[in-house]
Amino acid sequence: MAAQVGNHPHFRTPALEERDGGLVAAVLSGRSLGAMLLSLYHLAVTSRRAEGTEEWVSYADWAMAAQVYYATARLLSRSFCEEGDPVVVKIDDRVPARP
């Protein structure tokens, strides 16, 4: 996602931390979160094929942008927190392992 958002002037690439199960954690500032949401919204709603980009790459970019944007926007629209409390957005759409 950083490749899609990285050109926004308010986005700062966060440090990433690997977690169990192949998950990755990133802490974003408010400015970076806003830049991420604006950039991903633009990509999610336009779904245009970038010049010089293969069609399947454009579809993959759109799918990832839409997933991250809508999951984050849904959570933030329901979030109420006190100043200073972090909001945690967890996106994990892996298929659960069978018992």
Percent of the chain scoring above 90 in pLDDT: 1
Reported pTM: 0.69
Segment 32-44 mean pLDDT: 85
Q: Taking phi first (over 0 means left), then psi (-120 to 50 degrees means alpha), and beta for anything else, what does residue 31 get?
A: alpha
| 65 and 72 Cβ atoms separated by less than 8 Å | no
Over residues 90-99, the pLDDT tens digits come to 777 777 777 7
Tokens 């849904």 belong to which residue?
A: 74
